Copies of this chain bind each other. A is one copy, B any other.
């Protein structure tokens, strides 16, 4: 009954002729030199013409944080709102006009600290928006306090003796809220990032993409252990739908579930045949396995990159629109006159 992949014909008119430059605004970019935000911005600006939206149909909504300045740099409609509330602002933008392509840009503080609840609820409602969470595991804009994704024990300005809060994992939160598309990528891997952004744009539903983003000022090298080119192949694993989960520079390692449902790393060829490897199913009716994968992390496991979940559900904006259409069909288009008289009336002469 509902399309779950957005067809682009409708908006593809002149959009096809646009170039990267059309999406670059006239504002000077003001992140610190070397910040991971630059590469994400560059990827988005490069990709936009290919996604086939008209410039005027695209809205970037953000909260507050370094990452949340993103909308200023995109020559589309943009709303740099208040701290943590981008998902709700986006809900209003999208519900009021479901034809818009709405993007939410948020940070680990903005999206998981003050804005955690809005993020949770926009995901459970399955509004058709694309959410990119720039996870640098630190509060950048306020100059370096630990964030909800900072590692336990981290020493920062506000935790000089080490943070005592256990971190949150945005992928887990998204799975528990039943977001319909859930992915993870890396700021510096422009190719993978482009794939992910393209996929989330094509997905009709609520899409959350976590991007590991380096803050070279307050949390430099936060992901270096597994993002560094030298080790990346061995310390990350790409989730590819319908394929057995393998990784390693020589594709020589894989993941399987043991009898208790726990993940294990297997050396392919050494520990046995490859046919007991876990085959990734992003549309698994039970999200338990995706959750199991989300628990994998360095150093025990390679860090999963790619699409954790991609399922189909009618979107909130569509349901809202349909309900209005149905009511209108059933009751007729509302007339003010009628509404005013919709009660027991009497006449005084």
Contacts and interface: CB of A to CB of B under 8 A. Distances in A.
Given A169-B176, A173-B176, A284 B313 contact: no
Interface in A303-338: 313, 316, 319-320, 323, 326-327
Contacts of A93: none
Contacts of A172: 175-177
A120 interface: yes
A346 interface: no
A192 interface: no
B120 A116 contact: yes
B178 A166 contact: yes
Nearest to A324: B161
Given A262-B285, A284-B260, A165 B295 contact: no
A289 interface: yes
Nearest to A170: B176
B295 A288 contact: yes
Given A261-B257, A292-B261, A323-B161, A120 B281 contact: no
A238 interface: no
A91 B177 CA distance: 24
A256 B291 CA distance: 18
A167 interface: yes
B286 A167 contact: no
B262 A261 contact: no
Given A176-B176, A262-B285, A286-B263, A167 B292 contact: no
Nearest to A171: B176
What 7 A-B pairs have minimum CB-CB distances, sorted nearest first?
Answer: A288-B292, A117-B117, A176-B176, A172-B176, A291-B291, A164-B319, A116-B117
Contacts of A46: none
